[in-house]
Amino acid sequence: MVLKDILSISGEPGLFKFIAQGKNAIIVEHIETGRRNSAFSSAKVSSLEDISVFTEGEDLPLGKVLDKIFEKESGGSAIDSKADAEKLRKYFEEVIPDYSREKVYLSDIKKIILWYNLLQKKGMLIREEPEKEAEPEKPASEAEISAPAKTKKKKISPGAKKQK
């Protein structure tokens, strides 16, 4: 998922969309209410793009987690984030079987599911385009690597005067 301009602000409920950079703050818009506020440098602001989930292997970016939920639900909404703790853990295990049970708390699972449902409801779940593999460069043929172009040189007779 493309999450670059979607922000979470510590102490503030919901998610915010980045609008503009001010001198001492950033201007954000609450995704649900549409109300604009300033988030000052003293607030802890996190881009969802920078958040990842601990797994037994490498950490999984939040965008990939949301992609997996999107695939599981075929683009629909996920389980309610206020569901029973065991249901939430079981659901999250279906989405990410190798998530770290010691490091990922129930509050994290609730927050991820809440965020997914909010973004899904607002139609803001935009899938990332898979990166195309760059074609390997072909070695230049001998015809392409030619000697420097021949230029005609103007011959000046030894007795000619230089013009100013």
Q: What is the CATH number of the domain that holds 88?
A: 1.10.10.1650
Containing structural domain, residue 30: 6-121
Tell me how far apart the alpha carbons of residues 67 and 125 are, in angstroms, rounded to a whole number: 9
Domain count, the chain: 1
The two tokens of residue 144 are 């392409």
* Amino acid 41: pLDDT: 84
d(CA 104, CA 86): 14
β-strand partners of 53: 60
Task: Please report the pLDDT score of residue 141 as a whole number.
Answer: 47
Q: Are strands 36-40 and 6-9 parallel, antiparallel or unpaired?
A: unpaired
Evaluate whether residue 145 is within a structural domain. Answer: no
* Cross-strand bridge partners of residue 6: 17
Domain assignment present for 66:
yes
pLDDT tens for residues 21-52?
988 899 999 999 999 999 998 899 999 999 99
User: Is residue 79 assigned to a domain?
Assistant: yes
The pLDDT, as a whole number, for residue 160 is: 52
Do the domain assignments include residue 151?
A: no
Q: What mean pLDDT comes out for the span 109-129?
A: 88
DSSP strand E in the chain: where? 6-9, 16-21, 25-30, 36-40, 45-47, 52-53, 60-61
Question: CA 24, CA 49: separation in Å to the nearest integer?
Answer: 22
Kindly tell me the number of DSSP H helices and DSSP E strands found in the chain. Answer: 3, 7
Give the C-alpha separation, 129 to 114, whole Å. Answer: 24
Q: What is the mean pLDDT of residues 119-135?
A: 70
pLDDT tens column, 140-163: 444 444 444 554 545 555 555 555
Using CA atoms, how far apart are residues 85 and 98, in angstroms rounded to an integer?
18
Looking at residue 23, its pLDDT comes to 86
Query: In this structure, is residue 69 part of a structural domain?
Result: yes
Q: Could you tell me if residue 130 is inside a domain?
A: no
Looking at the domain assignment, is residue 86 inside a domain?
yes
pLDDT given for residue 126 in this prediction: 74
Q: Is residue 155 part of a domain?
A: no
